Amino acid sequence: MKSKAPLLFIITAIASLITAISFGIIATLQYVQFDFLKPFLTFNKVRPMHVTGALSWVLLSAIGGIYYYLQKDGLLKKQLLVSYHFIIFLLTGIGIYTCYALGIFGGKEYLEFPPILIIPILIGWFLFAYNVIGSLLNGFTKRPVYFWMWCTGSVFMIYHLSEAYIWLTPYFKDKFLANTALQWKAGGSFVGSWNMLVYGTATYVMAKLSPTSGVGTDKKSFFFYFLGLSNLMFGWAHHVYLIPIAPWIRYFAYLVSMTEWILLISIIYSWKKSLNFNTTIENKVVIKFLSSTDKWVLINLFVALLISIPAINYYTHGTHVTVAHSMGTTIGINTTILLASIAYIVQKENPNFNFKLVLKGLTFFNIALILFLITLLVAGASRSQWMYALEPSAFAAMQYKLKTVYLIMAILGSLLTTTILVMVLPLFKGLMKALRG
């Protein structure tokens, strides 16, 4: 019998997304009003709750989609393991949120929960990698690129999640600079690994919509796979340009980051072509999401490339420009891909599903997101100006001056939240129907 666990992953992913945006709004309100919800829910609890929700959204919906597609194509070998994986992640997630609510931390940034909880997370990823690779091993070298991406993504995920705990080892324990560098190496490559899963999903969906296009099997697809993989492995160090670690590591990262211009140029070059699908009415919503992705890739890649130049990074590092970059990619790129994937699944499960509201939401979502990102860039630029000002002023004075910007950020954040809800609530309903059906 087919397991329903893939759908459960996606449903939980949407719940995580709603959690993430709720805590995101609380977080922005704490920028506006410093004692908002103090002492119950201080920012050191709110921030990890927001970030964990966002990470879970991306990872769970990618995982659920991958299981679903492997199952649909008759490739998935171990149905039962999917349920075990789901239960492990669900319980761990509940554990993590309980710790945050009680103010129990102990980890490093983005993995603030007590380190012991990484063990069930790693077990879950092992089950995933074992199941995905095991299902695809037969004739692997001839398989399309998205399968390569899922397999490598899952293996590197395990590697970099483990690497994120290297600071616990006796060799590294007392090396503050090395630990800071490695924390960002692990984190950067962790994001590279999830991008393998997410971009693999985008490629899968595109290949299914346009089977004759060569997407996923041609030379170009593999070229970009290897380019992405090299960036995953070697391109993380733009986070640590300004930290006094060994200079060659930073110099090497600068060189690797700049190879991504190839990607940018290629995207612009194939701009029209990439949208040339045989659109049927049912596919329309999926294509709309993916063409939004295309635009967000262009914008975000441009920003990412700029801030990967050390001379520019010098001014943007440590400000909300970095937040604009990370939110731009997780929301603009990853979320539109994952929503395309979910819309594709919902449509497969309920052929008569009405996507009208979802499409309306998407239009307003794109507008709200661009405005939100612009506000973050403005906040970042102001902080940078303050940081490098010749006449230093107090931190509190700078924050006070930025109050209006933060207020606009909160308003636009709420707007963005609304548009996300307009898109995901109907999809959520569609998935629930599929789960029951």
> Applying CB under 8 A, which residues contact other proteins?
30-31, 34-35, 38-39, 42-45, 47-48, 103, 105-109, 112, 141-142, 148, 152, 166, 173-178, 180-182, 184-185, 222, 226, 229-230, 233-234, 239-246, 248-249, 251, 254, 309-314, 317-320, 323, 383, 387-388, 395-396
Judged by CB under 6 A, does residue 105 bind ligand HEC?
no
CB 247, min distance to ligand HEC, A: 28
- Rounded CA gap, 348 and 121, in Å? 30
CB 54, min distance to ligand HEC, A: 19
Closer residue to other proteins (CB): 94 or 242: 242
What 3-state DSSP class applies to 107? coil
CB 174, min distance to other proteins, A: 4
Helical spans, DSSP H, in 219-333? 219-234, 247-258, 260-269, 271-274, 284-307, 310-316, 320-327
**Residue by residue, what is the 3-state secondary structure of 196-251?**
HHHHHHHHHHHHHHCCCCCCCCCHHHHHHHHHHHHHHHHCCHHHHCCCCCCHHHHH
CB 37, min distance to ligand HEC, A: 11
Contact with ligand HEC (CB under 6 A) among 42, 180, 266, 322: 42
What would the DSSP string read from start to end of 23-70? HHHHHHHHHHSTTTTTTTS-HHHHHHHHHHHHHHHHHHHHHHHHHHHH
CB 319, min distance to other proteins, A: 7
Closer residue to other proteins (CB): 3 or 319: 319
Judged by CB under 6 A, does residue 43 bind ligand HEC?
yes
CB under 5 to 8 A by kind: which of other proteins, ligand HEC, none does 403 bind?
none
Closer residue to ligand HEC (CB): 43 or 110: 43
Closer residue to other proteins (CB): 100 or 355: 100
- Residue 294: phi, psi to the nearest 5? -50, -45
Nearest to 328 by CA among 347, 302, 363: 302
CB 38, min distance to ligand HEC, A: 8
- Rounded CA gap, 249 and 237, in Å? 7
Contact with ligand HEC (CB under 6 A) among 33, 44, 98, 354: 44
Closer residue to ligand HEC (CB): 35 or 174: 35
> CB-hemisphere CA count at 13 Å for 222?
9
- Residue 108: phi, psi to the nearest 5? -100, 180
CB under 5 to 8 A by kind: which of ligand HEC, other proteins, none does 310 bind?
other proteins
What 3-state DSSP class applies to 252? helix
Judged by CB under 6 A, does residue 33 bind ligand HEC?
no
Record the tokens describing residue 424, joined without a space: 């995901």
CB under 5 to 8 A by kind: which of ligand HEC, other proteins, none does 391 bind?
none
CB under 5 to 8 A by kind: which of ligand HEC, other proteins, none does 126 bind?
none
In angstroms, what CA-CA distances link 43 with 24, 83, 171, 409?
A: 10, 34, 33, 16
**Segment near ligand HEC (CB under 6 A); pick from 36-44, 124-132, 308-316, 359-367:** 36-44
CB under 5 to 8 A by kind: which of ligand HEC, other proteins, none does 175 bind?
other proteins
- Rounded CA gap, 337 and 292, in Å? 9
CB 203, min distance to ligand HEC, A: 41
CB 393, min distance to ligand HEC, A: 11
Residues 390-419 binding ligand HEC (CB under 6 A) are 395-396
- Rounded CA gap, 300 and 335, in Å? 13
CB 426, min distance to other proteins, A: 34
Q: What is the per-residue burial (b if ≥16 Cβ within 10 Å, else e) of 288-299?
A: bbbebbbebbbb
Tokens 């309920």 belong to 350
Closer residue to ligand HEC (CB): 32 or 75: 32
Rg (CA), the chain: 21
CB 109, min distance to other proteins, A: 5
Q: Residues in the site for ligand HEC, rule: CB under 6 A?
A: 42-44, 395-396
